[in-house]
């Protein structure tokens, strides 16, 4: 699921695993949407 679709689904929690620029973008978008996020790993 891409980050835009994920945010439209209004999840209770977003898990962010180590990744690259796409993951970083998803983390920024999640925080901007004031959704709960848990960073896992590095």
Instruction: Please report the sign of the dihedral spanned by the C-alpha atoms of residue 11, residue 17, residue 22, residue 27.
Output: positive
Q: What is the pLDDT of residues 9-32, one digit of tens each?
A: 999 999 999 999 999 999 999 999
pLDDT band at 42 (very low <50, low <70, confident <90, very high): low
Provide the number of structural domains found in the chain: 1
Question: Is residue 1 pLDDT above 80, yes or no?
Answer: no
- Do residues 3 and 27 lie in contact, with contact meaning Cβ atoms separated by under 8 Å? no
pLDDT of residue 16: 94
Question: Is residue 4 pLDDT above 90, yes or no?
Answer: no
The residue with greater pLDDT, 22 or 3, is 22
pLDDT of residue 30: 93
Domain housing 7: 3-39
């Amino acid at each position: 699921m891409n980050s835009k679709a994920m945010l439209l689904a209004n999840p209770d929690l977003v898990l962010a695993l180590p990744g690259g620029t796409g993951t970083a973008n998803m983390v920024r978008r999640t925080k901007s949407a004031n959704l709960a996020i848990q960073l896992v790993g590095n």
